[in-house]
Amino acid sequence: MDSVSVNPNRRPVGNTSPCVLQEAGKVEEELEGFIRVYRNGSVERFSYVVPNVPPSDKPTEPVASRDVVIDAATRVWVRLYLPAERNGKLPVVIYFHGGGFVLGSPAWSIYHTFMCRLASEINSVIISVAYRLAPENRLPAAYDDCFGAVEWVRQQAAGSRTVQTAKAPKEAEESWLRSYCDFSRCFLAGDSAGGNTAHHVAIRASKKDVKPLHIRGAIIIQPFFGGENRSAWECETCDPALTQKWIDVFWKLSLPVGASRDHPSCNVPNSTTLQHVLLPPILLCISEQDVMRERNLEYYEALRRAGKNVRHVIFKDVGHAFQLLQPQSPRIQELTRDIRDFINKY
């Protein structure tokens, strides 16, 4: 066991001795190799299936990375990615990882690899956000943390000195952001649950004054949506990257207690708010074999009916999270090309 996190009002599981596990009670939910939730609210998390990797800012790296704590109270942090080859200041992409709001981290090896590649191929600074996870912190905690990251970037754009690196927390001047970022060209992005989050954070940002930061667009990849009624596609599709069991556990653990899957955080395509909110231009990336495909297409149609500026791209012969799980797929180059073209357009 690598780490244990707990409901703040519950006793932690601690070491997995029989007496401690007996006190924690029956296991209520488990995603093998990732998380185990006990009846008393205790949570065990594991990292032996997908390992965590550290950042690296060695001069020889094609993309340097660095971890920065942005909120000491919540311990929310970000991993910054800076391409070695750059001419002038670069666009900023604030990225939200997937994992059903329950799993995931910028430190996951599969995310770190993809972020390094993405930063290089779109020639942008990427800020990947480590938001708080459910069930310890249910929605809207992820939205709060990710909008908090937008606010933190806004503070950097305004010249506030709040950066705290893990190695040198007091060296506030050590900021890649002010040195290398074009804050007039900021984009929100995310995949799966992070795509869901990008949608909600874009709505929040449209209601706030985030100047001198200018959010030019949102890149929403395979967004994780749902609803009380399963579609025929969801029932018939077998996507090993996102099974029905995992979907059920993710929503059970992440939605507010007592909420159904028609909650606005989940059933976004049928949310009435789309007609009444401002959204930046959206690039919606859909995988042809993804169990979320029909939900994603519903989202596209809802945005279009609401008069939003949205373009969708369907990637053939791949499923959910292919950019993480199939690193040799030629579709990744297509994805990064579409993202680069979108950023260059705005």
pLDDT digits (tens, 9 = 90+) for 107-148: 999 999 999 999 999 999 999 999 999 999 999 999 999 999
Q: What is the mean pLDDT of the chain?
A: 89
DSSP label at 256?
P
Of 65, 128, 192, 254, which is the active-site residue? 192
Length of the chain: 346
pLDDT digits (tens, 9 = 90+) for 91-118: 999 999 999 999 999 999 999 999 999 9
Q: What is the pLDDT of residue 11?
A: 33
Q: Which residue has the higher pLDDT, 50 or 10?
A: 50
Q: Tokens 């029932």 map to which residue?
A: 235
- Which of 265, 327, 324, 267 has the alpha carbon at shortest distance from 292? 267
How far is 160 from 178, CA to CA, in rounded Å? 10
Average pLDDT of the residues in 248-265 = 97
The pairing of beta strand 164-165 with beta strand 63-71: antiparallel
* Cβ-based burial of 113 (10 A; exposed 0-12, middle 13-18, buried ≥19): middle
Q: What is the pLDDT of residue 8?
A: 32
Q: Could you give the count of Cα atoms lying within 13 Å of 53 in the half-sphere of its Cβ?
A: 14
Q: Please check whether residue 81 is in contact with residue 139, taking contact to mean a CB–CB distance below 8 angstroms.
A: no
Q: What is the pLDDT of residue 59?
A: 83
Question: What angle, 0 to 180 degrees and rounded to 10, lies between the N-to-C axes of helices 141-158 and 193-206?
Answer: 60
Of the listed ranges 11-15, 219-223, 279-283, 341-345, the least confidently predicted one is: 11-15
In sequence order, the β-bridge partners of residue 52 are 108
How far is 57 from 50, CA to CA, in rounded Å? 22
Of the listed ranges 156-170, 190-204, 216-230, the least confidently predicted one is: 156-170
Active site residue 124: no
Q: What is the pLDDT of residue 22?
A: 54
Average pLDDT of the residues in 239-262 = 96
Q: Which residue has the higher pLDDT, 185 or 174?
A: 185
Q: What is the pLDDT of residue 269?
A: 86
State percent of the chain over pLDDT 70: 88
273 pLDDT exceeds 80? no
Q: What is the pLDDT of residue 159?
A: 85
Active site residue 290: yes
How far is 222 from 215, CA to CA, in rounded Å? 21
Residues 6+ apart with CB under 8 A from 67: 55, 77, 78, 79, 80, 107, 165, 166
Token code pair at residue 177: 């952001």
Q: What is the pLDDT of residue 23?
A: 58
Q: What is the pLDDT of residue 231?
A: 87
DSSP label at 208?
S
| Coil vs helix vs strand at 190 | strand
Q: Please check whether residue 178 is in contact with residue 68, taking contact to mean a CB–CB distance below 8 angstroms.
A: no
The three state secondary structure string of 96-115 is ECCCCCCCCCCCEHHHHHHH
Q: What is the pLDDT of residue 161?
A: 56
Highest mean pLDDT among 43-47, 160-164, 197-201: 197-201
Average pLDDT of the residues in 191-203 = 98
Q: Which residue has the higher pLDDT, 1 or 341?
A: 341
pLDDT digits (tens, 9 = 90+) for 286-331: 999 999 999 999 999 999 999 999 999 999 999 999 999 999 999 9
State percent of the chain over pLDDT 90: 80
Active site residue 320: yes
10 pLDDT exceeds 60? no
User: Which amino acid type is present at position 297?
Assistant: L
